Amino acid sequence: MTGSRQVLALDYEAMGEAELVAHARVGHQDAFRVIMQRCNQRLFRIARGVVRDDAEAEDVLQEAYTRAFENLEGFRGESSLFTWLTSVTLNEARGRLRKRRPTVGVNAIEAAQRSGAQVIMLNSASAAESPESSAARSQMRLLIEQAVDGLPEAFRIVFIMREMEELGVEETAANLDIPAATVKTRLHRARRLLREGLNERVASAVTEAFPFMGALCERLTAKVLARLAPTYRWDAETSTR
C-alpha cells in the first residue's frame, strides 16, 4: 500500500433530491449540474409561458438559477426543490413582465370571456401537407406554440404545467400557490380557448412544443455554473467543460 486514500467518484445522476441538495450546499459543482439538467426543460417552458420569448426565457432561467443557488440555504425542504425553483423562476419572469408592460388581471379576462369578447387571436395557418411528413409536424408544433402564447398568462401557465409537463393538479396548485379547484377551472378554460382555433390533429404534437434539451440545456447549465464559480470557488474553466 502506498498510504494514499482512494477517492470514489460519486454518482450524482443516481442521487435523489435531498442528497443532491446536500452536495450542492457544500459546493459540489456536479450536484448543481444534475439539478439543472433535471429541471431545465420544465422551468424553461414555465418561464417562456410568462415572457413568451425564447431568448428572454433563457435569460430568466439563468438569473433564477443563479439567485436560487447563491441562496440555497433559503431552501428549507418544506416543498420539493422543483416547486421552490418554480417559484423563483416565476418571480423573475413576472418581474420582467411588469417592467415591460402593465398586466391584465385574470378576473377581467374571465369577465371578458363571459361577455363573449374575443380573448385570443390564433393564426389561420394550417398544415396542408401530409401529417406524416416532418414539415407538417413542424408546422403543427408552431401552431401550438402560437396558440399557447395567445392564452392569457394565468391560463397559459396552468396549461403548460398540466398538459405539456403532465404535472398533477395538486402539484400544479402547490407550484402556483393557488387552490386545486382554480387549477381545474383554468385548465378547462385554456383547453376551450385552444379548441376554438385548433383541430384535433395538433394534439399529438403538444408535448414537443418549446424544446429545451441537448445543446441548449448544456449551454445554460455551463453559463450558470460559470456565474456561480466565484461564490463556490471553483475553477472557472471546469465549470464550462
* pLDDT tens per residue, range 74-116: 898 888 999 999 999 999 999 988 887 554 445 544 544 444 4
Mean pLDDT of 122-144: 59
Percent of the chain with pLDDT over 70: 76
* Rounded Cα gap, residues 1 and 9, in angstroms: 20
* Burial group, residue 157, by CB count within 10 angstroms (0-12, 13-18, 19+): buried
Handedness of CA 93, 96, 98, 101 (dihedral sign): negative
Q: Which CATH number fits domain 10-103+211-241: 3.20.20.140, 3.10.290.20, 3.40.50.2020, 1.10.1740.10?
A: 1.10.1740.10
Q: Which residue type sits at 198?
A: L
* Rounded Cα gap, residues 73 and 87, in angstroms: 15
For the chain, the domains span: 10-103+211-241, 104-210
Whether residue 145 contacts residue 125, with contact meaning beta carbons closer than 8 Å, is answered with no
Global pTM value: 0.69
Work out the pLDDT band at 203, boundaries 50, 70, 90. Answer: low
- Cell 439539478 belongs to 35
Report the pLDDT value the prediction gives residue 196, as an integer from 0 to 100.
77
The set of residues, in sequence order, having a beta carbon less than 8 Å from that of 32 and lying 6+ positions away, is: 24, 69, 224, 225, 228
| Domain 104-210 listed as CATH 1.10.10.10 | yes
